[in-house]
Chain A
């Protein structure tokens, strides 16, 4: 008994469509009822939103292709300017009707041009009596284009006076789109996240030909048991399933267990999947490296992940510059005297601590400091005399390009540049250790 029913389309096509979009039947049937029959006008604009990989793009694509509805599908990230986007829509329109010759590329700078050219393009087509669908994927990018683009797309039916519907797909809610000046409100449709049951059903659908569906479903069950807590992205789960399946099959291939021996299979795969969660899922090591490890039966421990390589080798003075920058960022200015003057006297922390300084500076984050202060601290922490050579100054700039320091308000280079130190405490301690500098002794927070 098919869930999808519509008088305009043959039942066989609908049945096929239903098999292609598991767990999204209600949304599809809703869309079908909105679309109506081929020649009927429908909503001028439809806004579909839902979390990452909740099947928005896939459902729309499958729906339009299976029912052979005339459509244009554009990704707004790929066509990053309004001009590119509009031209791409026109190009796809032209290529839709195969009988006409590929006309040369027509420039389309404004939406006005677009409406004119769009009318021409639709006129030349024979399918004038069918609704044309323009699907804009990742529609949140439209907000970054000219202000008129989004409202105009929402009213495209009215502006062109043609049977056209614009479908916007996005991961964020409509409220974040609505322009201040107001616009035509589209019909909004929410795609909820797949539940664990849905994921199980969808993932089990594509089982490898050499194994039974049940066997694969059991594997997916284990996989979801491990990964569902951290990852609900269908694409990613499918990728992980494919990566680790050969390991799951290992006992069966070697003849140590049969396909029904769930417990044995679970014992074999579970630690492996946990390891995968810490490494390949986080892209600490790449999928191909993971596969190679699996082949060689090696321990993932031998291969260090990306985060294991935190050590940065720096020139001697760069290290001190970075340390000075860290001190300048995290110590209040008033305390410089206490730390860097020889005869500073005994100042107790409690005495000169102001109220707002009771909170740790490390919780508040780095504060900007001027270049002069950085150099003053540098001169006092380096043992031998440092000449203010061009090399020292260029090292500061190098540290900025390496993103270890960041420049604050760099509108005017002569106006006493200000910097912030962006490295972590662990990092600076590692650096300080290499030059035998006890940085903790110089930090106000640790006094």
Chain B
């Protein structure tokens, strides 16, 4: 266990609670705030099932995306040592120095996503190539000794896992007892491969057909950049000496560019390797696929609003390039939506909607009546209808059902029309409406896209397209419409434009959109793009914001003596320069604190500061130091140096 704390001390690590208990607790949490009339239980179940569907869908997508890469890697690994096993007598093979087969796997800078890729990679390798796989991380291998320990630990454990019952004495041998050297690794390898050879045919037939006689040992360096050169060099030199006895294959996980191999390894070492390059799909393409399959589909009833989607995409493009984080953010949206919106119970597949609408409680009906989009809808109706909608629950339910069905139809058409529009806009010069379909999607969610300037200029540009281009584009549109399950569409441009105007209606105007759209971007931003410095500043500068104590309600710039000591000290230090005189600071602190005690106090203390105040001051200052605002200065002994500047 480790902590990210920078101070020494005792840390309590509570055991992570079991999975089931967590989910039950969340269910209760859903119910705690809202009473039963708001279907909290049903909402929780819906949320769970929706998330499970999306999760399995994303896993499926990722599997597909990595398939090509993994196939290439598998075939590389298959060939890597087979050459030497087949024709050891041939002259060329005898003369060639035997290099270590190495795959340089370029994965992109989104390091957080690599874990998942490596996990599925080792799964694939385990199923197809070899049971002997070790995953090494730079932080575990500061020296060659640690690397060997880690490597042997992982490899030998996998051996133990394979047939745990047969070799009990091997299991009992503790880690330190095995000599941590290549020769013991070779002994181990010989013993395991021999064992599988002499195994009774009935038992091991399946595994030996999957892995050949002497399967390679795959060592994966997860983060090549972080390894020190010395460790890598030593390991490569050692293993190249034993490549004949131990068929090693290395996989370098590279986040930046394959140049790093030459930066890290001198020629004498890199000449021991037979390096081939493998590149994974770029993360932007990955994201496009995810958005395409998760958001631009009618498969899932849940939708993201424009602002929320923009926040998620911005975090991706501006900060981390991590598809995993995008999906996590999406998950947060789902949970938040189902938690905060009582009517989200209706955010389900269309087949279930009818039943759920019928079971709505009176409170829920009131909730519907309160929805802004529904109120707009009601205002547009004739007066008798208005009264019916506002008073009779049954009438309301009927209309609600119909509106939800409309919304669903709208979405079906929306996706197809969006794709058609994208066919046009993506081929225009300068891309006035964006190159990617996600940009277009955001533009359409934001407002009436056909009223924007960009749309106008797109149309003008589209008019200038030549005939053959136009025909191919229309062909593509036709294909989209044919494949879509929506209504039938006509094939002429005029009709297309009709559709554009007909269906590109803003969700805000679509009645009951609140049920399926999650649009609270601020919540999301707060959770995903936290600003710790701002939060800390707010807490210290304006404690009322977090403590909610009426006495702390500050009336402007003045320093209240009711505030916690650390806040007073913090506020005082904001007024200082780079170096702070501790004596002056203490005096200012005591003045602020004494202000409470009134005029009679100052007679008692005169110029001598009270011991208790002194102690409080020291504690507050050391707390500030712990938070990283100040540090002791070597320039002047009775001064401390400020470490932060600016508003936050």
List A residues at the B interface (Cβ < 8 Å).
52, 75, 77-81, 84, 87-88, 105, 206, 208-209, 233, 235-236, 238-239, 241-243, 245-246, 282-283, 286-289, 306-307, 309-318, 372, 387-392, 394-395, 398, 401-404, 413-416
Contact = CB atoms under 8 A, between A and B. Distances in A.
A354 B99 CA distance: 54
A282 B267 contact: yes
B238 A78 contact: yes
B216 to A, nearest CB: 14
B312 to A, nearest CB: 13
B193 to A, nearest CB: 21
A392 B531 CA distance: 9
B530 A389 contact: yes
Most buried by A among B106, B643, B645: B643
B268 A52 contact: yes
13 contacts: A77-B237, A77-B238, A81-B145, A238-B97, A282-B267, A283-B262, A286-B276, A313-B321, A387-B529, A391-B320, A401-B223, A413-B6, A415-B643
B142 interface: no
Contacts of B96: 239, 242-243, 287
A317 B319 contact: yes
Interface in B263-287: 267-268, 270-271, 273-277, 279, 282-284
A206 B108 contact: no
A296 to B, nearest CB: 15
Contacts of A398: 109, 111, 320
B271 to A, nearest CB: 6
A401 B274 CA distance: 26
Given A286-B276, A287-B96, A87 B257 contact: no
Contacts of B284: 313
A163 B282 CA distance: 65
A286 B274 contact: yes
A390 B362 CA distance: 44
B92 A306 contact: no
A287 B234 CA distance: 22
Given A84-B180, A105-B179, A414-B6, 17 more contacts: A52-B268, A208-B92, A236-B97, A239-B96, A243-B92, A288-B276, A310-B257, A310-B259, A313-B283, A313-B284, A390-B529, A395-B319, A398-B111, A401-B111, A403-B225, A414-B631, A416-B643
Contacts of A403: 225-226, 256, 260
Contacts of A314: 109, 321
B529 A391 contact: yes
A80 B179 contact: no
Given A78-B181, A235-B97, A372-B645, A388 B533 contact: yes
B109 A315 contact: yes
Contact of A309 (B111, B257, B267, B648): B257
Given A238-B97, A288-B274, A387 B318 contact: no
A387 B318 CA distance: 12
A55 to B, nearest CB: 15
A341 to B, nearest CB: 16
A402 B225 contact: yes
Contacts of A316: 317-319
Given A105-B179, A312-B109, A242 B319 contact: no
A309 B319 contact: no
A180 to B, nearest CB: 24
Q: Which 3 A-B pairs have the closest CB atoms?
A: A242-B95, A391-B319, A306-B258
Contacts of B533: 388
B144 A80 contact: yes
A286 to B, nearest CB: 4
Contact of A315 (B275, B321, B531): B321
Contact of B628 (A78, A286, A414): A414
B310 to A, nearest CB: 13
Contacts of A306: 104, 258-259, 261-262, 275, 277
A297 to B, nearest CB: 18
Given A309-B106, A315-B317, A388-B531, A288 B79 contact: yes
A318 B628 CA distance: 24
A175 B586 CA distance: 62
A416 B629 CA distance: 10
Contact of B108 (A78, A313, A372): A313
B257 A84 contact: no
A80 B143 CA distance: 10
B436 to A, nearest CB: 15
B532 interface: yes
Contacts of B262: 283, 306-307
Contact of B255 (A88, A307, A402): A402
B277 A309 contact: yes
Interface string B223-253: 1011000000010011001000000000000
B282 A313 contact: yes
Contact of A80 (B97, B234, B532): B234
B182 interface: yes
Given A80-B145, A286-B274, A391-B315, A75 B241 contact: yes
Interface string B60-99: 0000000000000000000100010000000110011101
Most buried by A among B95, B106, B261, B283: B95
A77 B234 contact: yes
B392 interface: no
B534 interface: yes
B183 interface: yes
Contact of A401 (B102, B225, B270): B225
A242 B530 contact: no
Contacts of A311: 257
Nearest to B265: A283
Contacts of B104: 306
Contact of A283 (B101, B273, B316): B273
A242 B83 CA distance: 15
Nearest to B4: A413
A14 B108 CA distance: 59
Contacts of B92: 208, 242-243, 245-246
Contacts of B530: 389-390
Contact of B109 (A88, A235, A236, A318): A318
Contacts of B631: 414-415
Nearest to A399: B109
A388 B321 CA distance: 18
B99 A287 contact: yes
Contact of B95 (A233, A239, A318, A404): A239
Contacts of A401: 111, 223, 225-226, 255
Interface in B356-408: none
Given A75-B241, A81-B145, A282-B267, A402 B256 contact: yes
Nearest to B531: A389
B319 A392 contact: yes
B181 A238 contact: no
A416 to B, nearest CB: 6
A387 B319 CA distance: 12
Given A313-B321, A315-B319, A387-B534, A208 B256 contact: no
A148 to B, nearest CB: 20
A209 B96 CA distance: 15
A403 B271 CA distance: 23
B626 to A, nearest CB: 9
A388 B534 contact: yes
A78 to B, nearest CB: 5
Contacts of A52: 268
A374 to B, nearest CB: 13
Nearest to B76: A288
Contacts of B256: 312, 402-404
A282 B268 CA distance: 10
A88 B183 contact: yes
Interface in B404-435: none
Nearest to A395: B319
A243 B531 CA distance: 58
Given A286-B275, A288-B274, A239 B6 contact: no
